[in-house]
Amino acid sequence: MGEIYTLLLRLEGPMQSWGYRSRFDYRDTALEPTRSGVIGLVCAAMGIARGEDISRFDAIRMGVRVDKEGRPERDYHTALDVIKADGSGTDTVVSYRNYLADASFTVGLQSENKDLLEEIAGWLRCPTWTLFLGRKAFPLAVPPLGPDDCPKAGTLEEHLLSGHSNKRIVLETPDGERTQHDWPLCFRERRFKPRSIHTRFGGGIA
């Protein structure tokens, strides 16, 4: 195995939404950034369109440290005169959209491919398209990277766990205690596969 590097991103904003089970008139949010949401943000920075190949990011392992737990909120949206599926007329449709208020996260991207992490960092500093936190209406409160932030040697555990007592940390691992269906395969076709994750709490490295 070659040397391992980790790039740390700061994702903070007044509203964030990281859906992974959304269906029709219900839009959910996870309690921390999803892999699909973070890779989507990276793709926006790099100017990668929805139908383009994103397999290059499969070599990245992701982790999230919850620096400030968000407050779950819900919006109700009403749409009038929506045509019914059977074409028999129109109806009023109420949709539910969940989001997190006032949350702050540190996302770690780990890889042996330092060049890829450096490329991602460069585009995040000067993105092709506007970056947002899960929905286009939810902008970042601060840039995801500072001017001097770069990939550093070390694993997710080394960078996210150490020195952050009682912080909740969600790590990708082959034998995690739960799975989440948010590993993107193709954004245009909305194809995803399960991802195994494990929750730990900071304060040291086991």
Segments of the chain assigned E as strands: 5-16, 26-27, 61-68, 71-83, 90-111, 152-153, 168-172, 178-186, 191-201
User: Which pLDDT score, from 0 to 100, does residue 203 have?
Assistant: 65
User: Which pLDDT score, from 0 to 100, does residue 92 have?
Assistant: 67
User: Which pLDDT score, from 0 to 100, does residue 202 have?
Assistant: 76
Among 74-83, 91-100, 117-126, which stretch is predicted with the lowest mean pLDDT? 74-83
Averaged pLDDT for residues 13-24 = 80
Q: What is the pLDDT of residues 100-113, one digit of tens each?
A: 999 999 999 999 99
Query: Percent of the chain scored above 70 by pLDDT?
Result: 87
Q: What is the pLDDT of residues 153-203, one digit of tens each?
A: 999 999 999 777 789 999 999 999 999 999 999 999 989 999 999 999 976
pTM of the model: 0.87
Q: How far is CA 99 from CA 29, 86, 131, 169, 199, in A?
A: 6, 32, 17, 20, 21
State the average pLDDT for the chain.
Answer: 89
17, 177 Cβ separation under 8 angstroms: no
Per-residue pLDDT band at 206 (split at 50, 70, 90): very low
Q: Which residue has the tokens 């909120």?
A: 73
